[in-house]
Amino acid sequence: MTQLPLPIGWSRHGGAESLLVHAANTDALALIRDWQRWPSPCTLLVGPSRSGRSLIAEVFLRESGGVLVDDADRADETHLFHLWNEARDSGRPLLMVASEAPPTWTIALPDLRTRLATAAVARILPPDEAVTAALIVHGLERAGSAFAPDLPDFLARRTARCYAAIEGVVAELNALSLARGQKLSVALARQALRNNALLDGADETAPHEGTH
């Protein structure tokens, strides 16, 4: 898999350098970086756990100098209301990060609910098979783990479409690579991940498992 091109003006300084731009987050990232044209003082960044929300939020902070509220769906609503008003009055953009957007994220305070109804929503989508394979490659390469070229696609077909599950697979494989000091093959990865219940049990369409 090849990493998609980074947006123009992308900076690789800081923790956000570990963010992989892919089909499930590219629209969300583009909207966050276009903060000067947001329709309201606040935008919501929503997505599943471990989907890179915090890394995209780092990009926002670095490029806009705005205000960030992480886990906004669990924050005090009066505080969020005041932050929204401050963002409107100061012109300093406000980004709220949450797992879901309203109305799935239930808001009791009517004034806050009214204001957030005007906010744009930058949504990180669930990973498909291609994104799963790209994230596996990215995670293994960042750790310096050598792997057979057919391994990412094999794993992507058998890993749950969940960022946390992908992260678990990558962590297990990187630990295995460090412990064994050898290239990760399909056979080696399958045995290790099955033992930890991280892979789907299906064996259909499995590639040839010769020596890699």
- Those residues whose C-beta lies under 8 Å from the C-beta of residue 186, and which sit 6 or more positions away, are 148, 150, 151, 154, 206, 207, 209, 212
pLDDT (0 to 100) of residue 209: 37
The fold adopted by the segment(s) 129-195 is Helicase, Ruva Protein; domain 3 (1.10.8)
Q: How many CB atoms lie within 10 A of CB 57?
A: 20
Residue with tokens 């957030």: 116
The residue extents of the domains of the chain are 15-123, 129-195
- Closest to 50 in 3D by CA, of 154, 127, 138: 127
- What is residue 207's DSSP assignment? P
pLDDT (0 to 100) of residue 16: 64
Q: How many CB atoms lie within 10 A of CB 49?
A: 10
- Those residues whose C-beta lies under 8 Å from the C-beta of residue 191, and which sit 6 or more positions away, are none
pLDDT (0 to 100) of residue 196: 79
pLDDT tens column, 65-80: 999 999 999 999 999 9
pLDDT (0 to 100) of residue 194: 84
pLDDT (0 to 100) of residue 15: 56
Which tokens go with 208?
């040839």
User: What mean pLDDT, rounded, does the chain reach?
Assistant: 87
Domain at 15-123, CATH from 1.10.357.10, 3.40.50.620, 3.40.50.300, 3.40.50.80: 3.40.50.300
Residue with tokens 């731009």: 21
Q: Where are the alpha helices (DSSP H) in 25-107?
A: 26-33, 53-64, 77-90
pLDDT tens column, 113-164: 999 999 999 999 999 999 999 999 999 999 999 999 999 999 999 999 999 9
- Measured distance CA(139)–CA(176) in Å, rounded: 13
Question: Which of 16 and 199 is assigned the larger pLDDT?
Answer: 199
pLDDT (0 to 100) of residue 29: 96
pLDDT tens column, 9-38: 333 333 567 899 999 999 999 999 999 999
Q: How confident is the model at residue 199 (pLDDT cuts 50, 70, 90)?
A: confident
- Measured distance CA(163)–CA(127) in Å, rounded: 7
